[in-house]
Amino acid sequence: MEYRHLGRSGLIVSVLGLGTNAFGGRADKSTSIRIIHTALDEGVTLIDTANVYCAGESEKITGEALRGRRSGAVLATKAGLPVAAGPYGQGASRRHLIEQLEKSLTALNTDYLDLFYVHTFDPTTPLEETLRTLDDMVQSGKVRYVAASNYFAWELMKALHVSELRGLVRFAGIQTSYSLADRTPEAELLPLCHDQGVGLVAYYPIAGGILSGKYLKGEVPAGSRADRDRRFAARLQKSYLALAEQVSDIAMRHGATPAALSLQWLTQRPGVSSAIVGATSVTQALDNMRAVNTPVRQDGMQELDQVSEAFITGEKFGWYRLQNQAAPD
């Protein structure tokens, strides 16, 4: 396993991180714990969860799985997306972030987080309040590094400016959707990250499994994510399925699986610190983790560049914002 710094920070993360959004849902407790232990055994250090995953079950399962193995993990969680109805159940206010941090620490059975994300931009809370709250968390020792998620480039730059202006902790990373099916970060976000020393952590690196080839010709396997989640099934659009066909063809010619090829392409992109890959079985987790060791010729990478070029513009594949915020262009 390869390890990289998260931007210019001192935090070192595995180039593949384990995503836990299926734990307590599509993956039951015992399977989820085995997946986490397998990931750690394979050299994965970054374990990524959030307070909203499976209504909080993901954090509880992750905390149980890390008993006795906490020191070998870089544990990340998030807060900001809605967890309850009403005015206090979401956002990046001091009240909400502190409340959710304490709940997450309890659920995760730990007294500190390696990385704490603001899950989405909150236009109703002054950035200085959010950043000063994060700074207090770091000063208290309960959080070691902070990051943003689902921010536009201008929102991230504004936050970095406020941090510098006020002498507050700055975002070490940004988590966003990035894959062959979503190259929109290359337009503005990645250049900003390079300039400002912010590490990019990619979610949906194989487009929720679409780039793995499991949905070729629009067929939906029983038990798959699209089978169990109608909202995700709506993403099985012609453009993504056509891209998946092309990636599968290239993978076959290069003696690799489509998922391995997609992960190789992504982790070789400049500015990417880590890619978060989920799993619902130990076999799937092992396949994903070992994909980064699959050698792929440079001409294969160039082919992938060409077939995915159209996805530099257009809609994002993954995007999670508060309801009172405008959708991305």
d(CA 65, CA 58): 10
Q: Looking at residue 314, what is its pLDDT?
A: 86
CATH topology of domain 3-208+265-295: TIM Barrel (3.20.20)
Query: Which ranges of 122-267 does DSSP label H, i.e. alpha helix?
Result: 127-140, 153-166, 189-196, 225-228, 230-233, 238-253, 258-267
- Mean pLDDT computed over every residue of the chain: 93
> Where do the structural domains in the chain lie, given as residue ranges?
3-208+265-295
Which of these, 2, 312, 7, lies nearest to 156 by C-alpha position? 7
pLDDT, mean of residues 55-82:
97
Q: Check residue 11 and give its pLDDT.
A: 98
Residue type, 34: R
**pLDDT tens string 285-315:** 999 888 888 777 888 899 999 999 999 998 9
Compute the average pLDDT of residues 16-33. Answer: 96
Q: Could you tell me which residues come within 8 angstroms of residue 124 by beta carbon, excluding any fewer than 6 positions away?
A: 91, 324
pLDDT value of position 295: 78
In the predicted model, is pLDDT for residue 223 greater than 70?
Answer: no
Residue 69 CB neighbour total at 10 angstroms? 13
Which letter does DSSP use for residue 27 in this model?
Answer: B
Mean pLDDT calculated for residue range 304-329: 82
Task: Give residue 216's pLDDT.
Answer: 81
Q: Which of 143, 116, 148, 135 is nearest to 321 (CA)?
A: 148
Average pLDDT over every residue of 163-172: 98
pLDDT for 235: 77
Section 217-246 average pLDDT: 79
Q: ∠ CA(141), CA(142), CA(147), 5° rounding?
A: 105
Mean predicted confidence (pLDDT) in 30-58: 97
Confidence bin at 227 (pLDDT 50/70/90):
low
Averaged pLDDT for residues 6-32: 97
**Mean pLDDT, rounded, for 18-38:** 97
Across 79-101, average pLDDT: 96
Residue 325 has pLDDT above 50, yes or no: no
**pLDDT score recorded for residue 326:** 42
Q: Give the pLDDT band of residue 196 (cuts 50, 70, 90).
A: very high
Catalytic residue among 53, 145, 178, 215: 53
The answer, yes or no, to whether residue 329 has pLDDT greater than 70, is no
> What SS3 state is found at 274?
strand
Question: How would residue 319 be classed by pLDDT, with cut points 50, 70 and 90?
Answer: very high
**Residue 327 pLDDT greater than 50, yes or no:** no
The answer to whether residue 31 scores a pLDDT higher than 90 is: yes
Query: What is the pLDDT averaged over residues 266-292?
Result: 93
Q: Can you give the pLDDT at residue 211?
A: 95
204 is catalytic: no
Task: Check whether 263 has a pLDDT greater than 60.
Answer: yes
Which of 52-61, 151-160, 231-240 bottoms out in mean pLDDT, i.e. has the lowest? Answer: 231-240
Under a CB-based contact definition with an 8 Å cutoff, are residues 45 and 70 in contact? no
Q: How far apart are CA 23 and CA 33, in angstroms?
A: 9
